[in-house]
Amino acid sequence: MTVLVDAINHRKPSGTTDSTVLGPFHMVESPHRELGANISLDHNGEPCVFAGQARSSDGTPLPGARVDVWQANGAGYYDVQQPDVQPERNLRGLFVADDRGPFWLRTVVPRYYPIPDDGPVGQLLAATDRHPNRPAHIHLIAEADGHAPLTTHVFVEGSPYLDSDTVFGVKRSLIRPVVVVDDPLRAEHYGVANPFRLLEFDVILDPGPGGTRP
Ligand SMILES: [Fe+2]
């Protein structure tokens, strides 16, 4: 039902990034972090650079776009699920794209995870003979002046459960590979050792209704 509501409320203008569900774990305000910061405070998972471009649907870069990112760690848990284990605000960050539109940060490759399946949700899953798992993903909310905010995920290519996400949030257009890059200059740019893992995902925003540009 949540995904149906998303589909009805967010009809996709051509050329913009697909939206998907917010999910239950955007529970706290993400801390503002500098471009290139490492949001993995517990270092639980395979290190990875996450990078992309913020652009308008006509291709114009969006300097100053705000990209709020949050994800599970390499064990499949969010900070709010493990307050005694993970540092506060682990794997969360609010980034501002630079003066040409790119954003980049250091993190870990997220792992798939089961949604909490006690209570009514568990009963519903059991009654419909479905598993509780979501494929590996990073959540984003992207905003830029004059554009409609975008709530979405990037899904990790090759993750288990891409074809059977328990909340039906997967869209093919949102799946990206984690690739190994051997490029000393790019490694230096991102502040990581070469070679490095890279997940790239551009956010293309809609300047139509919902934007605030006069
Ligand atoms: Fe999630």
Question: How far, in Å, from the CA of 192 to the mean position of ligand 1?
Answer: 26
Looking at the DSSP bridge assignments, the partners of residue 199 are 50, 178
pLDDT the model gives residue 43:
97
Q: How far is the CA of 70 from the centre of ligand 1 (A)?
A: 8
Cα 139 to ligand 1 centroid, rounded to whole Å: 6
- Ligand 1 centroid vs 21 CA: distance in angstroms? 9
Helix (H) or strand (E) run with residue 7 in it: helix 2-9
Of 82, 7, 11, 1, the closest CA to residue 42 belongs to: 82
Cβ contact 98:147 at 8 Å: no
3 state SS of 100? coil
Please report, for the chain, the start and end positions of each structural domain, with discontinuous segments joined by +.
2-205
**147 alpha carbon – ligand 1 mean position (Å):** 24
The pLDDT score that the predictor gives to residue 139 is: 97
The conformation of residue 209, written as its DSSP 8-state character, comes to B
Instruction: Tell me the CA–centroid distance for residue 155 and ligand 1, in Å.
Output: 10
Distance from residue 138's CA to the centre of ligand 1 (Å)? 7
Give 2-205's CATH code, choosing from 3.10.105.10, 2.40.50.140, 2.60.130.10, 3.40.640.10: 2.60.130.10
Q: Where are the beta strands (DSSP E) in 75-149?
A: 92-96, 102-108, 113-114, 133-134, 137-143
Q: How far is the CA of 122 from the centre of ligand 1 (A)?
A: 17
Instruction: Tell me the CA–centroid distance for residue 135 and ligand 1, in Å.
Output: 9
| Rounded distance from Cα 205 to ligand 1 centre (Å) | 21
Neighbours of ion ligand 1 (CB under 5 A): 23
pLDDT in tens, the chain (214 residues): 566 666 656 656 668 999 988 887 886 789 999 999 999 999 999 999 999 999 999 999 999 999 999 999 999 999 999 999 999 999 999 999 998 889 999 999 999 999 888 888 888 888 888 899 999 999 999 999 999 999 999 999 999 999 999 999 999 999 999 999 999 999 999 999 999 999 999 999 999 765 544 3
pTM for the full predicted model = 0.91
Å from CA of 2 to ligand 1 middle: 14
pLDDT at 142: 96
| pLDDT at residue 7, as a whole number | 63
94 φ, ψ to 5°?
A: -110, 115
Whole-Å CA distances, 41 to 141, 185, 188, 195, 196: 21, 25, 21, 21, 18
Distance from Cα 111 to the centre of ligand 1, integer Å: 10
CA 113 – ligand 1 centroid, Å? 8
